[in-house]
Amino acid sequence: MKLRRITSLLLVAALAIAGTLTGCGSQPSETTDTPANSGTVAEDIDYANFTIDPSKIPQEKLDTTLYVATSVRGLENPYIVTITEGMDEFCKYLDSIGQKYEKQVLDSGGSNDVEIDNMKQFAAKAKGNAIAYADPNEAAIAPSLAEAMASSGGYIGTAWNKPDDASPQDYDPNWVIHTSADNVTNGKATAKALFDNMGGKGKVFVIEGMLGNTASIDRVKGFEQALKEYPDIEVAHQDTANWATDQALTLVETWLNDTPDVGGIWCANDNMATGALQALDKKNLKGKVGVTGIDANTDIVEAVKAGNVVATVSSNGYLQSGYTLAICYAAWAGLIDPAQMPEEYRVFLTPAVMVTADNVDSYIAEYVDSVPKMDFAKIFSCKAD
Amino acid sequence: MGKEKLAALSITEEFASKIKADNQKERLTKWAPVFVLIALFLVFSLILGGSFASGSNLVSILNQWAIPLLVALGLTFVIMLGSIDLSIDGTVGMAGSLAAVFVLNSRNGNDMGVWGLFLAVFCSVIIGFIIGTIHVKLKIPSFMVSFAFMNICAGIGLLSYGGKPPTIKDEFIASIAKSSFLEIPIITWVALLVFVLCLYIQECTPFGRHIYAVGTDETIPKAVGINVNKVKIKVFTLAGFCFGVAGVLGAIRLGQGQVSIGADLMFPANAAVVIGGTALTGGKGGVVNTVVGTLIMTVLFNGLTMMGVNPNIKTGVQGLIILIAVALTVKRGSTIISK
C-alpha cells in the first residue's frame, strides 16, 4: 500500500514536470510553426461564427493520440445514450480531419466518488491529451471533476449541474465551458402546453424527479411559474417518483382513485410519463388525460404522434456532448484560449426542441430515425440565442 | 413415595404452565402483524374517507402488491435459511428486460410470445442456481455472491436493450396488465399462484421442513444425513424463480422492459419479511407471514401516497412507521443478544 502510494506520488511528480516542460516547449513552437495560430487566440475573435480550420492544427497534434470521454450517470437512461452517441458523431468528425484518438465512456453508476475517480484515472492516463464531456452526478462535484482534469492539463466541459459559486474560470484554461438546457423554461413550456390542452382549467397531477436534484427543482419551478398564469388550474396531487417509470405508475394508479376527474399529468421527465400513461391505460383514460414529459424518449415521441402525450422537450443530448467536445478540442488544439473567452461563451444555455403534435413528424425524421446533422467545425452553434 | 410424586407433579405443572404462557405469547406475536395491518387500514380509511377503501383503490393495492409479494416470497426462504439474497434489484430488472426483448417489442425482431416470458423466468432461475452453487461450493457468504450478481444481472439487463427501453408490442401480453378475473388483476393472481406453490413447498414437502432445519441449526440436519448444500442451492434457485416471475410481471405492468423495474425492491422486501415475523437469524417464520408483511408495506405506501404527504417528509414518515411496525411485530424476548 505504502509502496503504491510512493509510486503514485513519484508518477504524479514526473507527470507534473513533464507537463510543465512540454507546456513550455510546445507553445512557442506552435506560434513559430503556424503563425496564423497566434491570430486566432487574439481577443477580437468572433466566437459566434468561430470555425475550426483543420489546416491550422499542427501535425504533431493530429498525430498525438487524443483521449475523448463522456462521463455519465449510467446507461439505463435513453437520454444518456444520446450523450454517448453525440460523442460517436464527434469522433467521426475527428476521423474526417485526421486526428488520432481513443474514445471512452466513463460510467459513474450514480456515484459521486466513482465519477471523480473515473475522471482522475482518465486524466492521468491521457497525460494532458484529453477532452471530456461530464454530466456531474451532483452539482457539488463539478469543480472536483474540473480539478481532476486540470491537474493533468486536459480540457473538460460540464453540463447540467454546477454550484452557483463555481465557474469554469476557477480552473483556467482546463474547465472550458459549462452548459445547461434551460430547465426552468422547459418545465414552463410543457406546463403551458398541458394547461392549454386542458382548456386552461381543471385538476393536474405533478410528478417530480429526484428530490434535491437540480434538474427536477428547476423544472418544477418552471411548472409553478406557468401555474401562476393559469388561475383555474388546481394541483390535486404532487409527489416524487425519483425519475422512475414504475414509481410514477404506482403514484398515478393510486391518485386516480380519489381524483378520477384529473385533466392532465405533468411529469418532470419522460421515463415517468411512460409510467403515467400506463396507469391511464389501465383505466382506459389514455388519450383522454393530457400528459407531458421532458427528454423526448422514443416511446414518448411516438405517444405524441399517437395523440396520447401533449408535449415533451428534447434537450438534444447529441448536441450537448458533441459540441462540448468540439469546443474542448479547439482548446486542446490551441485554436482558442478558454482564458480569453468572454463569460457568455464559458457558461451558456443549449437550445431545446419542444415536440408537440405540430412538429412531431419532422422531429422524428431528424432526431429519431437519424442522428441530427451537426457541423462540429462551427463549435459554438450549440449556443442558444 | 407420595411426596416424590407430588414434587414431580409440581415440576410437570410448572413446566406446563410455562409452555402455556410461552404459547400465548407466541400466539400474540404471531397475530401482531395482522393487527398492524388492520390498524393501518383503519387509520387510512378514517383519514382519507371512502376513496381509500373504495373498490378501485383496493384493486390498485392488489396490483401494487403483486411484485413486492413475489420478491418477498423468494426472499423468505433465503432468510429462513439464515442467509440473505441481495441480487433482487438486478435479477428482477434482468428478467423484466429480457422478457421485453424476447417478445414482440420496439427494439428488435424477436417474437417468442408467451414462451419469451417463460424463457426470461428460466434465465432468472439459472442465476439463482448459480448464486446458490457458488455460495455453497466456494463457501463465499451469500451476502457477497448475491451482491456481485446484483451488478452482473443489471449489466445483462442493460446490454439486452442497449439503453433504450423496449416497449412490449405483443398485444396479448400487453393486455395482461389490464385484465382481471373476479375483479382481481391477473398479475395478482399469478403472484397468489406462486404463493400457493411456496406454501405447498413449505408445508407439505420434506424440502420445506429441511429449510427450517438448516435455518435453525445446520449441524442437526447434517447429522441425520440431509444434504444441506443441496437444500441451500434449491432455496436460491427457488428465489431466482420468484424474482424472475416478479421481473416478468413488472415488465408487463410497465408495458416496457427496464433494469429499473428491480430498483429499490430489495430493502422494502427485507422489511416486509421481517415485519411479517420471519426472523433474520433463520429457522422461523414462513410465507404466510410474508403475505401479511408485504400487505402492510403496500398499504402503507398506497395510503401515504393518497394522503399527499409532502414528498420531502414522506420518506422519513415511511421509515418511522416501518420502525414502529417492526417494534410491534418482531419477537424480541427470546434473543439475549441482538447484533
B304–A contact, CB cutoff 8 A = no
Supply A320's cell numbers: 450537448
Residue of A77, A246, A257 with shortest CB distance to B254: A246
Give the domain extent around A283. 184-295
Percent of chain A scoring above 70 in pLDDT: 89
Answer whether A245 sits within 8 Å of B254, measured CB to CB: yes
Residues A171 and A189 in one domain: no
Helix (H) or strand (E) holding B63: helix B55-80
Over residues B183-236, the pLDDT tens digits come to: 888 999 999 999 999 999 999 999 988 998 888 888 888 888 888 899 999 999
A359–B contact, CB cutoff 8 A = no
Mean pLDDT in residue range B128-141:
92
Residues of A in contact with B178 (CB under 8 A): 281-282
Supply B13's cell numbers: 405443572
Residues A188 and A174 in one domain: no
Q: How far apart are CA B279 and CA A333, in angstroms?
A: 64
Minimum mean pLDDT among A61-75, A274-288, A371-385, B307-321: which range? Answer: B307-321
CATH number at A224 reads: 3.40.50.2300
Residue of A197, A165, A112, A149 lying closest to A338 (CA atoms): A149
Half-sphere exposure of A81 (CA within 13 A, CB side): 16
Answer whether A254 sits within 8 Å of B64, measured CB to CB: yes
Is A306 part of a structural domain of the chain?
Answer: no
Residues A198 and A165 in one domain: no
Residues of A in contact with B261 (CB under 8 A): 246
Give the model's pLDDT for residue B280. Answer: 79
| ipTM tops the 0.85 cut | no
Is A342 part of a structural domain of the chain?
Answer: yes
Residues A60 and A125 in one domain: yes
Long-range contacts of A41-50 (CB under 8 A, 24+ apart): A41/A334, A41/A335, A41/A336, A41/A337, A41/A340, A42/A340, A43/A340, A45/A336, A45/A340, A47/A336, A47/A341, A47/A342, A47/A345, A47/A380, A48/A380, A48/A383, A49/A378, A49/A380, A50/A330, A50/A336, A50/A378, A50/A379, A50/A380
Beta carbons within 10 angstroms of residue B164's beta carbon: 18
Residues A173 and A222 in one domain: no
Is A338 part of a structural domain of the chain?
Answer: yes
Give the model's pLDDT for residue A27. Answer: 39
Q: How far apart are CA B302 and CA B58, in angstroms?
A: 10
Residues A106 and A216 in one domain: no
A306–B contact, CB cutoff 8 A = no
Give the model's pLDDT for residue A4. Answer: 61
Residue of B48, B167, B177 with shortest CB distance to A282: B177
Query: Which pTM does this prediction carry?
Result: 0.76
Is A245 part of a structural domain of the chain?
Answer: yes
Is A336 part of a structural domain of the chain?
Answer: yes
Supply B62's cell numbers: 392488489
Residues A68 and A175 in one domain: yes
Half-sphere exposure of A278 (CA within 13 A, CB side): 30
Q: Between these two residues, A385 and B268, which has the higher pLDDT value? A: B268
Q: Is the pLDDT of residue A290 over 90?
A: yes
Which residues, numbered 254 to 283 in chain B, qualify as contacts with chain A under a Cβ-Cβ cut-off of 8 Å?
Answer: 254-256, 258-261, 263-264
Residues A225 and A153 in one domain: no
Mean pLDDT in residue range B58-63:
89
Q: B100 and B161 in contact (C-beta within 8 Å)?
A: yes
Residues A176 and A194 in one domain: no
Q: Are strands A290-292 and A264-267 parallel, antiparallel or unpaired?
A: parallel
Answer whether A258 sits within 8 Å of B306, measured CB to CB: yes
Total structural domains in chain A? Answer: 2
Residue of A144, A105, A113, A97 lying closest to A329 (CA atoms): A97
Extended strands (E) in chain A: 66-72, 101-107, 130-134, 155-159, 175-181, 202-208, 233-240, 264-267, 290-292, 311-314, 347-350, 353-356
What is chain B's length?
A: 339
Q: How far apart are CA B11 and CA A148, in angstroms?
A: 76
Residues A177 and A43 in one domain: yes
CA distances from B131 to A329, B51, B125 (A): 46, 44, 10
Mean pLDDT in residue range A213-228:
90
Q: How far apart are CA B278 and CA B85, in angstroms?
A: 15
Q: Which residue has the cell 428530490?
A: A211
Q: B237 and B132 in contact (C-beta within 8 Å)?
A: yes
Q: How far apart are CA B110 and CA B98, in angstroms?
A: 11
Query: What is the band of A213 on the pLDDT scale with cuts at 50, 70, 90?
Result: confident
| Residues in contact with B322: Cβ distance below 8 Å, sequence separation at least 6, in sequence order | B271, B275, B297, B300
Q: Search chain A and give the residue with CA nearest B261.
A: A246
Which residues, numbered 309 to 328 in chain B, qualify as contacts with chain A under a Cβ-Cβ cut-off of 8 Å?
Answer: 311-312, 314
Give the model's pLDDT for residue A35. Answer: 38
Query: What is the band of B164 on the pLDDT scale with cuts at 50, 70, 90?
Result: confident
In chain B, where the domains are located: 36-329
- Name the CATH topology of B36-329: ABC transporter involved in vitamin B12 uptake, BtuC (1.10.3470)
Residues A189 and A176 in one domain: no
Residues A177 and A236 in one domain: no
Q: How far apart are CA B78 and CA B280, in angstroms?
A: 10
A278–B contact, CB cutoff 8 A = yes
| Residues in contact with A322: Cβ distance below 8 Å, sequence separation at least 6, in sequence order | A86, A87, A89, A90, A374, A376, A382
Q: Is the pLDDT of residue B109 over 90?
A: no
Residue A107 bridge partners (DSSP): A72
Supply A291's cell numbers: 400528459
